[in-house]
Each structure stands twice: as structure tokens, then as C-alpha cells.
Amino acid sequence: MVIDLDKCVGCQACTTACKAENNVPHGSPDEQRLRRDIFWNKVIAVTTGKYPKVNTELISMPCMHCDQAPCVTVCPAKATYRREDGIVVQDFRRCIGCKYCIVACPYGARSFNSKEQEEKEYLRPDLPPDRSVWGQWPFPTRTHGVVEKCTFCFHRIDKAVKEGKKIGTEVVPACVEDCPSEARKFGDLDDTQSEVSTLLSSRGWIRLREELDTKPKVYYLLK
């Protein structure tokens, strides 16, 4: 995934689109105070400088899907693993809720679902309805007591592969599809002809916390 910080408007449509697509539970004032609210994609603000020479970078943070993912290394239950296509996923059935991965992740991309009373929470009338009716993914029912994170909307990707659609043009994750300034692009980094590869070769870019050698697959294009 490539996120263009020059085009990004800091609107947080990625966050709300993700919440709706993946039925990510919302938080509450208390949960926010305890830093327990769950986000698969969050926009963070990094402010430097003094008035009037101030600079704030608004950075949208999905899971970086690192090639050398610390979360995968530390998981004792092997609940988190890297798929062949490079997406790092979390198997809720394997997860034992030890939160090692949350500590290990240098990007804060992971959230622990500490919501109680799963049934009530997910079937509450104020939430968009339970997705079990979807039959397939994502997350027909979710258990509390496990760690959750961004999946690059792999339910979309897998479906697209099955249907022979082109990933990156016809099918993209929800946050990419719903980005109003079209700052986000998704595609195959190994394919030199893909839009993401072209973008990366045309401009200066960074990856977050490069020094840790996690080899993240989310690239940020600079202004």
C-alpha cells in the first residue's frame, strides 16, 4: 500500500470506512481513556516546532504488514502469521490473548478486544447489523479476549483472486476505495508495472521506523 502524504487531507475517511467494512467495534470515553478502543486504521498527528513555525503531520496508520513482522515472531500460539502473498493475518481461533504482539508491534497497529458480552455488543441495534448474514468473511462473529488488526481487507482480495479480478485496479481494500483525495493506492509491489511501483519510483518515500528492519509494506510518499 502506498499513502501519498501530499494528497492526504487528514479527513479520517479511511478510519470510518474501515470501521464499517470490518464491523470494528466502536469505543467509548472510558475505553479511550484506558487506550482500549479498537482501531484497525487510525490517523495520528505528529506535531513539531513552536508557534508560528509549527508543523503537524497527519499520518494514516493501517497495519504495515511487515515482511519481518515482530508480531509473527513473538506469537507463542502461532495465531499471527504471514500469508504467502505477504499479508499478515490474525487467526482468532488460535489467539490466546496474551498481547505479546501488541507489545512487539512498533506501529501500534494492534488492538485487544476487551469488550465483554460478545453477543450483546455485536447485536446491539445501534451498531450496523451483525455480519453473520454475509456467510463468508469478515468476522461473522467475533470473540472478545483476542487481538485484532487490519487485514488489508483480505476478504476482498481473496474474492477477487477467485473471480479473476485485477487487484489494485478493480478491487482494493475499503480504506483505499473510500479515500476521497485518492491518496491511497494498493497493488502488487513485485509487479514493476503496477501503479504502486510506478508511484514509488517517481517520488521520494519513507517507511515508518525503517531502522528496525521490519520491512513494512506500507509506503508513504512525501510532500
Q: Which residues in the 56-95 window bind another protein by CB under 8 A? A: 56-58, 78, 81-84, 89-94
Instruction: Say whether residue 43 binds another protein (CB under 8 A).
Output: yes
**Interface residues for another protein in 159-188 (CB under 8 A)?**
174, 177-183
Q: What angle do CA 213, 69, 186 make, to 5 degrees?
A: 90
**116 versus 211: smaller Cβ distance to another protein:** 116
Rounded Cα distance, 215 and 121, in Å: 36
Please tell me the count of residues contacting another protein according to CB under 8 A. 77
Instruction: Say whether residue 190 binds another protein (CB under 8 A).
Output: no
**Interface residues for another protein in 117-156 (CB under 8 A)?**
118-119, 124-129, 131-138, 140-141, 143-145
50-66 CB burial, b ≥16 within 10 A, e <16: eeeeeeeeebbbbbbbb
Of the candidate residues 1, 2, 3, 4, the single one contacting another protein (CB under 8 A):
4
Q: What are phi and psi of 159, to 5 degrees?
A: -65, -40
Contact 110, 116 (CB under 8 A): no
Minimal distance, residue 163 CB to another protein, in Å = 15
Q: How many CA atoms lie within 13 A of 69 on its CB side?
A: 26
Instruction: Say whether residue 47 binds another protein (CB under 8 A).
Output: yes
